[in-house]
A and B are shown apart, each in its own frame.
Chain A
């Protein structure tokens, strides 16, 4: 069995400043997890404003670290390492996190571990449910949507993913188009609850193609057309129209995710895993309609369905500390030249998801 490791984790890649202390023994334990959200700072601007986010991270990170240590009842010197999100994400925030972590690591002489934010999400089911490798992960958030077979702390095989927008972005843009508040996930879900999903028939792109690639960009265009047609006909939208559009949109996203998950599961099950499991992570996994559909698909395939508690599905630093522990256990640490990366695919081995360009003329 691996030795006991206690790591400090730091996360600042979007609009949450977070720090956590996680200890790995036989049974991993989250000793503390502090998340200072910025929703109130960005609320009136229709989404995360990068400069506002970067300013807040630079001035809150050390407080966040102090509080995480206090709540864990441990001193910095009692850590075995410092893990930090080194990307992908908003570069201003990632840089602040990486530099703060370097300062802490230099001051204490502790190992520095750069963690891919997506790996943090993808490894969370091992922290919460001790899920054995390999498992299928659907990572679905504001900026990402992909199916990964998680084979090890640094081995991820992507089966497919979005070729354009992420579903979280589609929810946000739908909210923008319909005058609903940001973030779009909760507001669209709330409006959809009152609506008739059958009134508007939005496209299910790429369902006609094999594989588990997805496309959500056309959905937004279709919604825009329906909206503009109604506005032209009646001078605006009734609440009813808006609810029906949200319901139709949410159903389309849900059906695409469910069908593509079914295909990804089939591919994953070819590996004959001893404990087949489908895990989800990312903010979109909080959508109850999507969650229920994924649960049903997993049951149909005979796989366990693992959805970590919401606080560990959305951005947090416990997942970064945990991913750092997993990396340290296999000897992966970084030095003071660790770089912050806005774009950082988890799986550099598999072919990229080609977008629209592939459909056009062969140039």
Chain B
């Protein structure tokens, strides 16, 4: 299902991306899914890592967050929530996503999914799509999602300049 753009941001520096990650860390809860779109070097893993480490820090944990490119899925604990960080680049299609157990995680865990096009029609309806595009020295970010996300994104203004 297609959604209109809910919001646009411009991240000038890597620190802006970190701040966006910290904002998400305060906002996300179990059952939320972020679909992180963008090509190589768009900053998907950087944003996901910032979120995971900030969520863990809130619960007094600190762990490495290696790139999931090789292992496809890595899971983390943050307080009561489980975080799934997936990179579906090497996954063939929706059937293989089922094998990863991602569908079961969608309902309960906080799921951060890179290369989500591999989900096909199985992407959760309530997910927030975050599209990252390199632009000059910074990154453009566009958010797409169902209505509840419009409200949740309202407090995002302080993170970075609206594009």
The minimal Cβ–Cβ distance linking B160 to chain A, given in whole angstroms, is 11
Q: Is A282 an interface residue (CB 8 A)?
A: no
Q: Is A220 an interface residue (CB 8 A)?
A: yes
The minimal Cβ–Cβ distance linking B93 to chain A, given in whole angstroms, is 10
Give the nearest-CB partner of B92 in chain A: A51
Please judge, given known A-B contacts A50-B91, A224-B41, whether A342 and B71 are in contact too, CB under 8 Å. Answer: yes
Which of B43-51, B107-115, B123-131 makes up part of the contact surface? Answer: B43-51
Are B90 and A357 in contact (CB-based, < 8 A)? no
Give the nearest-CB partner of B96 in chain A: A51
List which A315-363 residues lie within 8 A (CB) of chain B: 342-343, 345, 351-361, 363
Are B90 and A177 in contact (CB-based, < 8 A)? no
List which B62-86 residues lie within 8 A (CB) of chain A: 62-67, 69-75
**Contact among A48, A89, A343, A360 for B15, CB-based, below 8 A:** A360
> What string of 1s and 0s marks CB contacts (under 8 Å) between B83-121 and chain A?
000000111100010010000000000000000000000
A-B contact pairs, 20 of them (CB 8 A): A14-B70, A45-B90, A49-B90, A91-B71, A164-B67, A165-B69, A166-B67, A169-B67, A176-B40, A217-B46, A224-B40, A224-B41, A352-B63, A352-B64, A355-B46, A355-B49, A357-B22, A360-B17, A361-B22, A363-B58
Are B90 and A360 in contact (CB-based, < 8 A)? no
Give the nearest-CB partner of B62 in chain A: A352
The minimal Cβ–Cβ distance linking A25 to chain B, given in whole angstroms, is 36
Q: Is B54 an interface residue (CB 8 A)?
A: yes
Give the nearest-CB partner of A161 in chain B: B64
Q: Is A90 an interface residue (CB 8 A)?
A: yes
Q: Is A248 an interface residue (CB 8 A)?
A: no
The minimal Cβ–Cβ distance linking B77 to chain A, given in whole angstroms, is 12
* CB-based closest 7 A-B pairs: A360-B18, A357-B53, A363-B22, A224-B41, A143-B70, A221-B41, A357-B50
**B41 partner residues in chain A, CB cutoff 8 A:** 173, 177, 220-221, 223-224
Q: Is A186 an interface residue (CB 8 A)?
A: no
In the complex, besides A345-B64, A360-B15, 5 extra interface pairs with C-beta distance below 8 angstroms are A48-B70, A89-B71, A224-B39, A342-B73, A357-B22
**B39 partner residues in chain A, CB cutoff 8 A:** 224
Report the Cα distance A46→B56, complex, angstroms. 33
Q: Is B3 an interface residue (CB 8 A)?
A: no
**B91 partner residues in chain A, CB cutoff 8 A:** 50-51
Report the Cα distance A355→B71, complex, angstroms. 19
Q: Is A125 an interface residue (CB 8 A)?
A: no
Are B90 and A50 in contact (CB-based, < 8 A)? yes
Report the Cα distance A220→B62, complex, angstroms. 26
Please judge, given known A-B contacts A177-B40, A225-B134, A345-B64, whether A359 and B14 are in contact too, CB under 8 Å. Answer: yes
Q: Is A47 an interface residue (CB 8 A)?
A: yes
Give the nearest-CB partner of A92 in chain B: B99
Are A88 and B71 in contact (CB-based, < 8 A)? yes
How many B residues, CB 8 Å from partner? 41
The minimal Cβ–Cβ distance linking B90 to chain A, given in whole angstroms, is 6
Which of A47, A165, A218, A221 has the most chain B CB atoms inside 10 A of its CB?
A221
The minimal Cβ–Cβ distance linking B28 to chain A, given in whole angstroms, is 13
Q: Is B19 an interface residue (CB 8 A)?
A: yes
**A361 partner residues in chain B, CB cutoff 8 A:** 15, 18-19, 22
Q: Is B59 an interface residue (CB 8 A)?
A: no
Report the Cα distance A213→B2, complex, angstroms. 42
Are B57 and A357 in contact (CB-based, < 8 A)? yes
Are B21 and A164 in contact (CB-based, < 8 A)? no
Q: Is B34 an interface residue (CB 8 A)?
A: no
Give the nearest-CB partner of B73 in chain A: A342
**Contact among B19, B63, B71, B96 for A360, CB-based, below 8 A:** B19
> What string of 1s and 0s marks CB contacts (under 8 Å) between A84-99 and chain B?
0000111100000000
> What string of 1s and 0s marks CB contacts (under 8 Å) between B10-48 and chain A?
000011011101100110000000000001110101100
**Contact among A142, A164, A345, A354 for B46, CB-based, below 8 A:** A164
Are B53 and A90 in contact (CB-based, < 8 A)? no
Please judge, given known A-B contacts A51-B96, A363-B22, whether A355 and B70 are in contact too, CB under 8 Å. Answer: no
Report the Cα distance A351→B64, complex, angstroms. 9
Give the nearest-CB partner of B65 in chain A: A355
Are B46 and A363 in contact (CB-based, < 8 A)? no
Give the nearest-CB partner of A45 in chain B: B90
Report the Cα distance A224→B99, complex, angstroms. 33
Are B90 and A47 in contact (CB-based, < 8 A)? yes
**A164 partner residues in chain B, CB cutoff 8 A:** 45-46, 49, 66-67
**Contact among A90, A354, A355 for B72, CB-based, below 8 A:** A90
Are B74 and A343 in contact (CB-based, < 8 A)? yes
The minimal Cβ–Cβ distance linking A161 to chain B, given in whole angstroms, is 8
Report the Cα distance A357→B56, complex, angstroms. 11
List which A293-329 residues lie within 8 A (CB) of chain B: none
Give the nearest-CB partner of B15 in chain A: A360
